[in-house]
Amino acid sequence: MSGVREGRRRVGPAVRAAAGRLRRGWLPVVEATLAATVAWMLATRLVGHPQPFFAPAAALIVLGQARGQRIRRAVEVVLGVAAGVLVADLVVQALGPRTTWTVFTVILLTVALAVAVGASSVTVVQAAVSALYLVVVSPPTESLIPFRFVDALIGGAVAVVASQLVDARRPLAPLVAEFRHTFRELAGVLDEVADALDHADDEAALAALDRARHADAGVDRLRDAVQAAGEALRLNVRRRRHLGRLRSVAGSIRQIDYAVRNVRVLARAAVTVTRGDAPVPTDLGAAVRTLADAVRAAGDALAADLNGAEETADGHAARADAAALAAVRSVGRLFAAGPTLPLALVIGPVRATAIDLLRGVGVDDDATVLSRVDAAVTGPER
């Protein structure tokens, strides 16, 4: 009985985890299922192909790519099918179908041709699979060549349309949500660092550092979300006017990336400070917490800018500006009161993060940002 109970204890969390993943990822499952089914129906009923293997296959391949890359992948799938069919037809005519030498020659020539023209891995695989299918399963004839090509075209087109339906009304909404999530996560890291400094807790500082090391994934998701939003806007004629807004925000991602790296450096410095023998200055945690407020305000500013709320974005940007400079002033005063190596390790990333935030929200030009931050480090509050 104990073994059964132990098995249930192990299975229960696994089932709950699987159910959670399904709740979060149900949309791609439905999207892929419907797209493949629709592609099959169009190929059989519209084109009249009795075995439209490449229609649902192309739909699934395109949908398997990240958002923002699906138009390009759809074109690559169609080209891959065309290349594979052409090679397979020529080789079968010369060597006959379903022989070892035919399979060897088709794969060799198809892959070599795709690599020689600089095709992506998706195109290489699709060309090879298309050629191999025609050689082994259904040897091509003159009438089969357009069928396979049209099947791939249908599947790719259905996948592109399906991928845009969810975000058709609000194509920028996923990007706005990703911006908010990334900045909340970064601010959360800074809050944990501040708590660790307040209590001189080296274990808490190590936990904050571990969390900071995973923040890079947020920047990668932001880049993917920008690509996806750009693709959605280009396909949506009525909303293409938002492309300029998207470009202005996309330019901030580099500064966000720098900010994430500097926060990681700051978390590492906090570990050094909390593990040292010297007492942690009482205002150091407050300064880092103020920097967290600046991060939140910067995220709100960029999200509002994407939503077209310019006045709201300006208000959040002003809050980010004030909070970032306040954090720099606080650590500057601490450093002036008694410069030590641990404090020097902290003031650098606080200053650098403040610069990244101010550049990201675009309040001033770069030279002005540097001058204002340097003045905040060494001078009194203005």
Same domain, 114 and 251: no
- Say if 95 falls within a structural domain: yes
Q: Is the pLDDT of residue 261 over 60?
A: yes
Closest Cα partner for 134 from 143, 144, 125, 124?
144
Domain count of the fold of the chain? 2
For residue 299, report the phi and psi dihedrals to the nearest 5 degrees: -60, -40
- Say if 15 falls within a structural domain: no
- Say if 2 falls within a structural domain: no
Q: Is the pLDDT of residue 153 over 50?
A: yes
Rounded to an integer, the average pLDDT of 111-127 is 77
- CA separation for the pair 225, 273 (Å, rounded): 37
- pLDDT, position 177: 81
Final residue in a domain of this structure, among 165, 182, 198:
165
Q: Is the pLDDT of residue 365 over 80?
A: no
pLDDT digits (tens, 9 = 90+) for 303-338: 887 777 778 888 888 898 889 888 888 887 876 655
Mean pLDDT, the chain, rounded, equals 77
Same domain, 198 and 128: no
Contact 297, 316 (CB under 8 A): yes
- Say if 272 falls within a structural domain: yes
Contact 353, 376 (CB under 8 A): no
Same domain, 185 and 158: no
- CA separation for the pair 25, 288 (Å, rounded): 36
- High-pLDDT (> 90) share of the chain, %: 8
Q: Which domain holds residue 349?
A: 173-378
Same domain, 137 and 280: no
Same domain, 247 and 161: no
- pLDDT, position 155: 84
- pLDDT, position 190: 93
- Say if 22 falls within a structural domain: no
Same domain, 139 and 221: no
Final residue in a domain of this structure, among 148, 165, 182:
165
Contact 57, 73 (CB under 8 A): no
- CA separation for the pair 79, 117 (Å, rounded): 12
- Say if 19 falls within a structural domain: no
Rounded to an integer, the average pLDDT of 277-282 is 75
Rounded to an integer, the average pLDDT of 99-115 is 85
Rounded to an integer, the average pLDDT of 20-26 is 70
CA 164 to chain centre: 17
Q: What is the dihedral of CA 110, 111, 117, 121, to 10 degrees?
A: 130
- Say if 352 falls within a structural domain: yes
- CA separation for the pair 280, 283 (Å, rounded): 9
If one compares 255 and 207, the residue with the highest pLDDT of the two is: 207
For residue 44, report the phi and psi dihedrals to the nearest 5 degrees: -80, -40
- CA separation for the pair 224, 220 (Å, rounded): 6
- Looking up residue 281, the CATH number of its domain turns out to be 1.20.58
Buried b (16+ CB within 10 A) or exposed e, 116-140: eeebeebbbbbbbbbbbbbbeeebb
Q: Is the pLDDT of residue 191 over 90?
A: yes
Same domain, 188 and 109: no
DSSP reduced 3-state for 22: helix
- Say if 304 falls within a structural domain: yes
Final residue in a domain of this structure, among 165, 181, 201:
165
Same domain, 128 and 226: no
pLDDT digits (tens, 9 = 90+) for 34-83: 888 999 999 888 878 777 887 888 888 777 765 656 666 667 766 777 67
Same domain, 94 and 186: no
The residue assigned the tokens 């660790």 is 196
